């Protein structure tokens, strides 16, 4: 029998699965590296997805707890748009993907895991990055550990100006 080791998953297994909104509690953390927050703006922040579809999978989140883009005020909408644009540039420079999936899943039927708190996704994609592992083994293969991704990106995100 083959074994696939994923020791970093233990953190999730033993973590508190409280009903609090992860996008409201993450910015309250005293240490951004624990929650993988890359950038904090006045109205929104950029965070690594800790269960990514691909290396470099980011989310842009407003601080305010709203469930739809239509509920954002103009400042929030503008800042999130600017951060999406700048994040795409950073990921393009650092990871050289062939493309991106970007967007919002609004509502559970649209795939929102946390439908109560809006968050935009940016997923770098490479030609041929979909392989047999998710189909046969229900396993995703990520060539870079999330700590390495965070350490690679955070110094660049610290230089963002809005």
Q: Alpha helices, DSSP H only, in the chain?
A: 9-14, 22-25, 32-35, 74-95, 133-137, 146-157
Catalytic residue among 119, 121, 142, 145: 119
| CA count, 13 A, side-chain hemisphere, 88 | 14
Residues in a beta bridge with 39: 46
Alpha carbon of 114 to those of 5, 8, 61, 69, 111: distances in Å? 28, 22, 12, 14, 9
| DSSP class of 34 | H
| CA count, 13 A, side-chain hemisphere, 148 | 8
119 is catalytic: yes
Dihedral (Cα; 133, 136, 137, 139), 10-degree rounding = 40
Show which residues are catalytic.
119
């Amino acid at each position: 029998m083959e074994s696939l080791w994923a020791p970093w998953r233990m953190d999730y297994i033993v973590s508190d699965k409280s009903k609090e909104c992860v996008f409201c509690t993450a910015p309250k953390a005293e240490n951004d590296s624990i929650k993988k927050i890359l950038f904090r703006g006045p109205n929104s922040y950029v965070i690594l997805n800790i269960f990514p579809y691909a290396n470099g999978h980011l989310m842009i989140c407003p601080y305010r707890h709203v469930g739809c883009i239509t509920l954002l005020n103009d400042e929030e909408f503008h800042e999130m748009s600017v951060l999406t644009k700048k994040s795409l540039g950073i990921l393009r420079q650092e990871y050289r993907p062939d493309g991106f999936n970007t967007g919002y899943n609004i509502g559970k039927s649209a795939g929102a895991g946390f439908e109560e708190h809006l968050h935009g996704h940016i997923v770098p994609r490479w030609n041929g990055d979909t392989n047999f592992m998710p189909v046969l083994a229900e396993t995703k293969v990520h060539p870079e550990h999330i700590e390495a991704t965070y350490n690679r990106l955070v110094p660049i995100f610290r230089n963002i100006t809005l």
